[in-house]
Each structure stands twice: as C-alpha cells, then as structure tokens.
Amino acid sequence: MTTVKGPAIFLAQFMGDQPPFNDLKSICKWVKSLGFVGIQIPTWDARCIDLQKAAESKTYADELKGIVKECGLEITELSTHLQGQLVAVHPAYNSLFDAFAPPSVHGNAKARTQWAVQQLQWAAAASKNLGLNAHATFSGALLWPTVYPWPQRPAGLVETGFKELANRWLPILNTFDQHGVDVCYEIHPGEDLHDGITYEMFLEKVDDHPRACLLYDPSHFVLQCLDYLEYIDNYHERIKMFHVKDAEFNPTGKQGVYGGYQSWIDRAGRFRSLGDGQVDFKSIFSKLAQYDYKGWAVLEWECCIKHPEQGAKEGAVYIRDHIIRVTERAFDDFASAGSDEKLNRSVLGLDK
C-alpha cells in the first residue's frame, strides 16, 4: 500500500486580479502558508503557465518547476478541463463554449476543435517536460442534450456519438502515451463521460487504451445519486487522480437531481467546502489506501456559501487529517509464529 500524497490544491478557482492571486509565485507562497505541499495548474490561465512554451522548452519547464519548488511546493498535474471540453461540442452549445477558446476561432466549430486538440498535444509534452505522469481534463460531449431520452433518441445515435468521440480522442491518447502520461477524465455532468457506464462505453471504443484513465471526484456522484464508494471498487485500477471536493443532495417535494433551473444555493444538489457536505471521505481515503492509489489528494474548492479563502485554509487541514499513513506490517505480527514449512505441513496434518 502507498500513502496518498498531499494536501494539494487546484489553482483554477483561486486565480484573480489582486495579489496574491494574480501570479504563480505569489499564489504559491499563499498556498504554502496554508499548509499545502502541491499545486495543480490550470493551463488556460496565462498567469500560471505558457502551455506552448512549456511543451517546447525544457528550460522554461524547469524554470516553472523552480518557481514552485522555491516556495516549498510540487506541481502535481496540469489541467486542460476547458480545452478538453472543446474537443467535442454539440451544436446547441457552440455559442456558450466559444468563451473557452480564443476569439480567432469563435463561430468556427471546426477551427475551435483543432485549437483544442493542439492544446492537448502541448499539454502532453509539457507534462513530460515537467516530470508529471498524469493529466486532468474533460471528455467533451456530443450527446449531452440527449441525456434524457425524450424525445426518443434515434436508433444508433449513442453508438455514433461514442464512435466519433473515440475517433477524436484516440490520436490525443496516443500522443500522451508517447510522452508517458495518463489522461485522467473527470467524470462529470455535461460530459459524455459522466458515470461509470459511459466511461466503459468510451473505453470500449478506444480499445481499452492504457492512457484513458480517471480523475475521481465524488462530489459529482453525490449529485447523481451514484454509489461513489463502489465506484472505487469498480475502477480503482484506472483512477490516477483525485479531487477532494464535497457536496450535498437534499431533495424535496419540489425538486431533485435536475434542480429546477435554480441557482446553486437554491438547488437540492450543491457543492460544499470540505467537511460541510455529505461525502464520506474517511471511507474514500481508506479505499484508496487499500487499492494502493499512488497519486495526490487535490482540493478543488467549489462552494456557494463559504468564502474561498476560508475553504482553502480549512481544506488543507481537512485533507491532511484524512490522509492515512499506511501500515508496513500486520497488526497481529506480534503473535506471528514465523515461517516454517515443516510446521505448516504439521498443522495441516500432511506429515501423517
């Protein structure tokens, strides 16, 4: 078994225009002061990283690592959540998702997809240059508007959608494989990979690609009423990343999973700061230790009530207190009779 690394923090929700949140070195010092030892970097934020430069220049990647290390931290992974989303977009969302891409490709879905694919390719090379072995992203979605089967889905629609999604991702997965990096899809509503079944459907289409791995975030499963502990039992061999994020689901006689188009604070299902929701993190950390998870525990803060700075401060302590230092011996070793084949045969009556 392996002790989970951490606590670490995903910077995406904390970057801003005011110090110490407006450049990498400053936010790293702030993060360290809270007790974190790692950071996950959003690659779309130029205040954190120049993705193309990190992909093409080992010198720049080393300088970036140096800034982080000087602050007493490590880079845990890079993230292309926004770019990965754009690998596959249903036309219904074209105008909304244009905001994730540069203006030069707005209104041009094909060019936007090409831009996103290039971003992922750079992320693979940048991860290698930074000495990382896992990468966080979204799958994108061609089928999401049809998630509820009304109107009735045309026969073969899902098959066609997953076949196309796999065709777009296979070259990307192969690029990551060449660089020795796992692609960890965050299983998330709004993505075609939003639960275990859809992940398995995708995995089949990419021929069980060894780099098609998982980012485990239990908060999204609470909101889907999915058993997030059994999920670990099912997919632990593919789980290479872990977002520690809390959530709660409190259905009423007026709303449930779909939330009635309400704001986050008024939904039955909503994300919460660590310890304020319903996720059983004691069991999660136990299962991850049991299955020898070798990655990081990374705080992703999203809460409609608590201030992010309070959430981050409390989150560092919460994760540190939940990380299990795994044992190197059995609890009953004190009573061990040692190893003796003659004794074993005698106990089993095999020498008579």
Percentage of the chain modeled with pLDDT above 90: 92
Residue 88 pLDDT: 98
User: Per-residue confidence at 349, pLDDT binned at 50, 70, 90?
Assistant: confident
Whether 14 and 312 have beta carbons less than 8 Å apart is answered as: yes
**185 residue type, one letter:** Y
For helices 157-178 and 196-205, the axis angle rounded to 10 degrees is: 70
- Would you say the C-alpha torsion 158, 160, 164, 170 has a positive or negative sign? positive
For domain 5-347, give the CATH number: 3.20.20.150
Q: Please, which residues bridge with residue 247 across strands?
A: 271
Q: Please, which residues bridge with residue 36 across strands?
A: none
User: Per-residue confidence at 329, pLDDT binned at 50, 70, 90?
Assistant: confident
In a 3-state reduction of DSSP, which class is residue 79?
strand
* pLDDT tens string 82-131: 999 999 999 999 999 999 999 999 999 999 999 999 999 999 999 999 99
Residue among 77, 81, 170 at smallest CA distance from 127: 77
* Alpha helices in the chain, H assignment, sequence order: 24-34, 51-56, 58-70, 81-85, 94-97, 109-129, 157-178, 196-205, 219-224, 228-235, 281-290, 308-322, 341-347
User: Per-residue confidence at 331, pLDDT binned at 50, 70, 90?
Assistant: low
* pLDDT tens string 222-260: 999 999 999 999 999 999 999 999 999 999 999 999 999
pLDDT value at 335 more than 70: no
Domain ranges across the chain: 5-347
For helices 308-322 and 24-34, the axis angle rounded to 10 degrees is: 50
* pLDDT tens string 67-80: 999 999 999 999 99
Q: Which residues have a Cβ under 8 Å from the Cβ of 135 and sit 6 or more positions away?
A: 77, 78, 79, 80, 123, 124, 127, 176, 181, 182, 183, 184
Higher-confidence position of 341 and 107: 107
Rounded-to-10 torsion of CA 330, 321, 272, 183: -60
- Pairwise CA distance, residues 239 & 209, whole Å: 14
